[in-house]
Amino acid sequence: MFEYSLLHWTGFLAAAVLLNLAPGPDIAFILGQTARGGRRAGFAAMFGIWTGAFGHVLLAAAGLSAILATSAITFSIVKFVGAAYLIWLGISALRSGGDKFISEKVQTSPAFLPVFRQGILVALLNPKVAIFFLAFLPQFVETGSGPAWAQLFLHGSLIIAVAAFIEPPLVLAGARLTNKLRNSRRFGLWLDRTLGGVLITLGLGLALENR
């Protein structure tokens, strides 16, 4: 069970690294929360994204992601809910006065759980992730290497494991960079506006996305 060639693992790991480096709502959310709330908020966002992604792995392994790929109504509902959520987060950032970047504010940064829950929703409410897993993971299912669902679960979990080597350094680097600029209210206002614009753009892009 789970016996694969070196070529199999090389191809899979290369694809997993590229997947985790690709820009999208997850990376934007993680870096945005890192900039706004420091390292703690960044890790909360990151763990939330991972948890939401793991939910998609479970759905793919159970075959439920196929519903999103075949049902236009279900896909549209999830898509618009996810887009609305991203846009709401973006508007919230635009309405901020930049105060969350001031050093004194960061010391009382948002609690871990609210940011963690937001990360889960950002990942779960993106139907493109579910369809991607459904299209990507089966390519690495090999006859004789175990049940299909188990192989899907293994490879999906490993994608998140690869993220554990890529995203924490991004959070640490982002927190270190923004800490040096944190006493500038003007910088905080600019960063809030940028984050808000990025999240709204991603939300609109998701709303216009076709299956």
Residue 75 belongs to what domain range? Answer: 25-207
The answer as to whether 5 is a domain residue is no
**Residue 85 in contact with residue 122, Cβ under 8 Å?**
yes
13 in a domain, yes or no?
Answer: no
How far does the chain reach from its first CA to its final CA, in angstroms? 34
Closest alpha carbon to 41 in 31, 51, 50: 31
H helix and E strand count, the chain: 9, 0
For residue range 92-132, what is the model confidence (pLDDT) as tens digits? Answer: 877 776 555 444 444 455 678 999 999 999 898 887 777 77
- Give domain status of residue 190, yes or no: yes
Handedness of CA 28, 33, 39, 42 (dihedral sign): negative
Question: 185 Cβ partners below 8 Å, 6+ apart?
Answer: 98, 99, 101, 102
Overall residue count recorded for the chain in this entry:
211
| Residue 197 zone, left/alpha/beta (φ > 0; ψ -120 to 50; rest) | alpha
Q: Indicate if the pLDDT at residue 3 is higher than 70.
A: yes
pLDDT of residue 168: 96
58 in any annotated domain: yes
Cα distance between residue 141 and residue 137, in whole Å: 7
CB neighbour list of residue 148: distance below 8 Å, 6 or more residues apart: 138, 141
165 part of a folded domain? yes
Domain-embedded: residue 160: yes
Q: What is the pLDDT of residue 165?
A: 94
- pLDDT (0 to 100) of residue 98: 56
- In this structure, the number of other CB atoms found within 10 A of the CB of residue 69 comes to 14
pTM of the model: 0.75
In a domain, 132, yes or no: yes
Mean pLDDT of all residues in the chain?
81
Q: What is the pLDDT of residue 109?
A: 54
Structural domain tally of the chain?
1
- Tokens for 98, please give them: 């930049």
**Confidence class of residue 198 from pLDDT cuts 50, 70 and 90?**
confident
Distance CA 85, CA 188 (A): 23
Residue 4: inside a domain, yes or no? no
